[in-house]
Amino acid sequence: MHSEQVPEPAPGSAGPRDWAWTRLETPIGPLLLAATRDGLAQVVFHADERRTRRALTRLEQRFGGPPAPGTPHLRTAAAELTAYFSGELRSFTVPLDWSLTSGFNARVLHALADDVPYGSVVGYQYLADRVGEAGAARAVGAAMGSNPLPVVVPCHRVVASDGGIGGFGGGLETKRLLLALEGVLPAPLF
C-alpha cells in the first residue's frame, strides 16, 4: 500500500500553511515578498536568482510545503511598497504575519512597527527601553538584523546613538536610500 509523504510542519506551527511569493523591482533593487493567509511574512533584499532560491527553500521548510496561489496579502504588500517607493505612502496597512520571529526580537520589532513613524529615527537604546530591557541595546541591534519584514517594519529607522547610521541587513547604501526617501537624510547626488 502506497502512502503519500506529507511534509513535517514547521516548528511552532499547527501544520502546513498556504503561502505565496513574488519578486518586486524597486529603487533599492529587487525585493522578494512572501505572504500567508495571515499577512506579509517576509521581505528579502537584493532578491537575485540565487538569494531567491535560498529564501524559497527556507520558506518551504518553515511553512511545510511549496507556495500556492491566491494569497491576497501579497498583492496588497506589492501595491503598498510600490506606493511607498514612489513617495505616495507613509504608513503600511498590509496585515503582517509575525510567525518568522519570536521572543525578544518580536517584542522589539512590534515596538518599532508601532512607535517609529515615517520620517523619524530612533536609537537602539530607545527600543531597548521601550520593551523594558534597558541594558539590551546590542540585543536590539541583533533583533534589527533578524527582522523578517524590513522596510515595512522599518529597521532602517534605527540609528546609532553617536549620530552614525548604524548597521543594516540590506547594506548601508540601501539604508541611506530609504532614509533619504523619507526625508531623514539628503538625497544622494549620484
Write down all domains in the chain, each with its CATH number in brackets.
19-86 (3.30.160.70), 103-182 (1.10.10.10)
- Paired strand residues for 189: none
Can 155 be counted among the known catalytic residues? yes
Q: How far apart are the C-alpha atoms of 105 and 116, rounded to whole Å? A: 16
Number of other residues whose CB lies within 10 A of the CB of residue 132: 9
pTM over 0.75: yes
Q: Each residue of 11-53: pLDDT tens digit?
A: 444 568 899 999 999 999 999 999 999 999 999 999 999 999 9
* Active-site pick, 144, 155, 159, 181: 155
- Residue 169, φ and ψ in degrees, nearest 5: -60, -30
